[in-house]
Amino acid sequence: MGFAGRVREATRSDHAAAQSMAYFDALLGGRLDRYGYAALTAQLFFVYETLEDAAAEMRADPVAGAFVFDELTRLPALVADLEHLIGADWPARVAASAATSEYRARLREVAFTWPAGFVAHHYTRYLGDLSGGQVIRRALDQAYGLAGAGTNFFEFPGVEPRAVKQRYRQLLDTVPWDAVEQERFLDEVSLAYRLNTAMLDDLGKVVA
C-alpha cells in the first residue's frame, strides 16, 4: 500500500467520527433553515481564510508547493455563498466559534512554517471537499431547494474531482518524508480531523 492508502487507513476512524456528527444529520436531513446551513459556511470561511493564507506562503516550498492547486481555492466561493445566504452585511454578522478559533490557532502554529503540517491540513479539507462534499451538495440542493445558489463552496467548476484526487494521492505516494516525518504527518491529519469534529460539535449546539 502506498502512503496515500496508509493515510486513509490510519484515519478511517477519525473520518467516521467527523462524518457522523449530529450537525450533518440535521443539515442533510433538511431539519435546519438557511441560517443553520450558513453557520457552517461562516465557520468554513474562517478556516479557509487562514488555510489559503498558508497556501500562499507554502507555494514556494519544493514539496508542499506541489499540493497548492489554484483551482481548488475556496475563499471566493465561501464569500459568494455568505453574500447569498446572509446578505451583503455578512461580515458584521458572523464570528469564529471557540472551536474554529482553536482550529485557526493550530493552522497558524504549523501550516505556515512546517510543510508536512500544511499538507496534513490541506489534505483533510480539500480531499474531503472533493469527496463527501459532492454528496453533501446534492443533499443540500434537495433539502433546501437551493438550486446551486449558496452552495458554491461544494462546486469546483472545470475540475474533475476524481482526477484531482488521483493526482493528489500520487503526490502523497511520492513525498520525500522519512518514517518519523510520515508519522508526524499522520498525527497532524488526525488532529485536523478532530479540530473539524470539534467545530461541527460547536455548530450542533448553535443550531440545536
Smaller CB distance to ligand HEM: residue 83 or 207?
A: 207
Residue reference for cell 474562517: 46
Least distance between ligand HEM and beta carbon 123 (Å): 6
169 has binding-site annotation: yes
Smaller CB distance to ligand HEM: residue 15 or 152?
A: 15
Least distance between ligand HEM and beta carbon 64 (Å): 17
Smaller CB distance to ligand HEM: residue 36 or 132?
A: 132
Residue type, 31: R
Burial readout 146-160 (b: 16 or more C-beta within 10 A, e: otherwise): beeebbbbbebeeee
Q: Using CB atoms, what's the residue nearest to ligand HEM?
A: 132
CA gap 64, 118 in Å, rounded = 7
Cell digits for 113? 512554517
Coil vs helix vs strand at 33: coil
Binding residues for ligand HEM, rule: CB under 6 A, are 7-8, 15, 18-19, 24, 123-125, 127-128, 131-132, 135-136, 165, 193, 196
37 Cα distance to chain centroid: 15
Least distance between ligand HEM and beta carbon 24 (Å): 4
Least distance between ligand HEM and beta carbon 104 (Å): 14
Least distance between ligand HEM and beta carbon 197 (Å): 7
Residue 26 neighbours by CB under 8 Å, 6+ apart: 32, 36, 204, 207
123 has binding-site annotation: yes
CA gap 96, 185 in Å, rounded = 26
Smaller CB distance to ligand HEM: residue 124 or 151?
A: 124
93 has binding-site annotation: no
In the Cβ-directed half-sphere of 71, how many Cα atoms lie within 13 Å?
Answer: 11
Q: Which residues are annotated as a binding site?
A: 8, 15, 123, 169
Q: Which residues are annotated as a binding site for heme b?
A: 8, 15, 123, 169
